[in-house]
Structure formats: structure tokens, C-alpha cells
Amino acid sequence: MKNTIILLISVLNFSCNSEKKADQTSFDFSPIVKILKEAPKTFPKQEIPKNLFIPEGMVYVQGGFTQIGTTDGMDFERPMFWAEVKPFFMDISPVTVAQFREFIKATNYKTYAENFGDGGFFDKETKGWILKKGANWEYPLGKDQTKAPDNHPVTQVSWYDAVAYAKWAGKRLPSEIEWEHAARNATNDRHIYPFGNEIVKDGKALANTWNGVFPDFNKNTDGFFYTSPVGHFGKTPLGLTDMTGNVWQWCDNWKFNYADMANGIMATDTIEKAEKGGSFLCEPGWCHGYRVSGRSFTSPETSLMHLGFRCVK
Ligand SMILES: [Ca+2]
């Protein structure tokens, strides 16, 4: 036990002010993840509880040991470390535009992008990010573009918006470690993607990514320049959709450094929340963010057209 650091992911003692306050509100929802300094000696068989009630639209993610990170990814995906994760339920798919609309209707909630009057938009003409006036969850590309289809993942939501939705739904955001544990099929699967090492099989794309050289050209061979309907590319062995590409997904925790984590040192200067999954803007030569070990970071008040979320409980 002495080699185990018990970490409450959501209450890392960061020095941020307003953001810290928001994190503490999610305290009640957050499970304990144990970070191990050494590889576990045994891997007890995980039993699925008898008569388990699985909430609609969710899958059961059994607990267990998972090695987080990779040896050959970006610097911030290293070094690998072991974590013990308790069982939880995870949304099969990212929260859709239709589901988010129900939340808005029920609560009259106003998102950060609506209050700011704009949202982050990647302009394919200038090949850069701009703040697009009028962009919000309903019009993620701006009011001069079509409305977001109901069955696409909601985007243009800040981390605070995602947390508000999760609380309304009686759920919470996953920690990065839980997300990766689920993406590794809760069995410490070491494939690059939850479904294997190939992103194209028999000439067919298995995920919505950027097909070409970002940001210069996108051949669009997967059929979607922007978001795609959730579940369009099938399920992982665990039964989850859109764990690879389509949209990045907000996680509960602040950015942390793997090397520090392994040594029990918590970051003190981060102002960004973590996200997992990669998006339709990712390609291997740029960030290859849709690998299981991929990560990205964004300040929690930010809304972007390729950033959504899914919940756990
Ligand atoms: Ca695509």
C-alpha cells in the first residue's frame, strides 16, 4: 500500500482560483483512482455483478488495472504509469445535439458560447482558428451555416456547460484515466485504437478524422469534413462509439504531467482541462490525437467546433 498514491482526480490541489472552485463542485461525483508506482503483481479476474442494472444508453466498464500512456506518443503521453480504476458506467456515445437540446429546454441554460456571442471555429480558407460570431451548440459553424444535425455530437460547449449537462442528467464527466481505461476496453488493451491498429480496413474508414495533411488539404475519404452522426463508424469491443475521432471529449480533470504523477507530485500551474478522443481535425502528421493515448488540453471556458463530451456515472 505504501507504493500507492491515492489520488482524487478532481480535487488535485491546483492553485487556480475560479476554476478550482468549479472542480470542487464535482467532488461528490468523482471516484477514486489509484496511481501505482509499480506494475501490479496480480490481475484479479473482474466479476460482472449479478443482476447488474445498466442505465439506458450506457455500458458497464469493469474495473481493473490499466497502464496509462504510451512509449511512442507525444511527450505529454509519457512516461506510462499504472492506475487502478473502479467500475463505472459510460455513455455509449458522446452527448448529441438532440440530447443537449433537451437539457436546454428543461433548464433554460445559456452556454458560454451563447453568453460570449462566439465560438472557436477552424477556418479552412485561412487555415487558422477564429472566434466565429454566433457559433454555438446549435450552430457550431456559425449562423451563416446549417444547424447541427440532431444525431451529431454536440460541440461548442465549454467544460462548465458539459458539467452542467452532466449534473442535470445525474451523471458526471469521466477523468482522463477512466476514459483511457474504457478506450483500452477495460482490459489494458495495448492497440493504438480501441478496435485495433488500423484506422482503415478493406478500404473503409473506421473513424472520422482528417484525411490528408492538416491544415493544407483534406481528401475527405471518410465522408465527413466536420462532425459525423454518433455511432456511424461502429462500436469498440466494449460497446462504445466515437472513442476515435469525430470530436474531442472533455474530461473532468485538469491537465497533469505523467512524470510528476508517477512521483506523486501534482501540478500547480495548469489552467486547462484535459480532453480525449481526437477529432475530425486530427491527422497522424499533426497530432494523431485520436489514438487511445492521445490527449489535448483547453481552458474550461472555451467552446470549440470539434470539442464535445460524454458522461459517466
Ligand atoms: Ca473526416
For residue range 232-279, list pLDDT tens digits in order.
Answer: 999 999 999 999 999 999 999 988 888 877 666 666 668 999 999 999
Which whole number is the average pLDDT over 165-175?
Answer: 97
Give the C-alpha separation, 4 to 208, whole Å: 38
More confident residue, 133 or 17: 133
Give the C-alpha separation, 313 to 169, whole Å: 10
Q: 41 C-alpha to center of ligand 1: Å? A: 42
Maximum Cα–Cα distance for the chain, whole Å?
A: 58
Per DSSP bridges, beta strands 248-254 and 307-308 are parallel
- Beta bridge partners, 81, equal 68
Q: How many CB atoms lie within 10 A of CB 108?
A: 7
Per-domain residue ranges of the chain: 21-308
Give the C-alpha separation, 166 to 107, whole Å: 13
Q: Cα dist. 2→32, 36, 78, 260 in Å?
A: 16, 10, 23, 17
Q: 219 C-alpha to center of ligand 1: Å? A: 8
Q: Cα dist. 266→5, 10, 13, 31, 70 in Å?
A: 11, 12, 7, 18, 20
Q: 218 C-alpha to center of ligand 1: Å? A: 8
Q: 179 C-alpha to center of ligand 1: Å? A: 22
Q: 20 C-alpha to center of ligand 1: Å? A: 35
Question: Which three three-digit cell numbers place residue 37?
Answer: 508506482
DSSP state of 192: S
CATH topology of domain 21-308: paralog of FGE (formylglycine-generating enzyme) (3.90.1580)
Helices (H), 32-133: 97-107, 112-116
Q: 284 C-alpha to center of ligand 1: Å? A: 13
Q: 217 C-alpha to center of ligand 1: Å? A: 11
| 8 Å CB contact between 268 and 255 | no
Portion of the chain with pLDDT greater than 70, in percent: 87
Question: Which three three-digit cell numbers place residue 52?
Answer: 447488474
Q: 245 C-alpha to center of ligand 1: Å? A: 8
For residue range 56-106, list pLDDT tens digits in order.
Answer: 999 999 999 999 999 989 999 999 988 889 999 999 999 999 999 999 999
Work out the pLDDT band at 22, boundaries 50, 70, 90: very low
Res 51 pLDDT > 70: yes
CA angle 19, 273, 131 (to 5 degrees): 90
Q: What pTM did the predictor assign?
A: 0.89
Q: 94 C-alpha to center of ligand 1: Å? A: 17
Indicate the angle between helix axes 97-107 and 159-168, nearest 10 degrees. Answer: 70
- As to burial, measured by CB atoms within 10 angstroms (0-12 exposed, 13-18 middle, 19+ buried), residue 146 is exposed
Q: 128 C-alpha to center of ligand 1: Å? A: 17
Q: 126 C-alpha to center of ligand 1: Å? A: 19
Q: 277 C-alpha to center of ligand 1: Å? A: 14
Q: 124 C-alpha to center of ligand 1: Å? A: 13
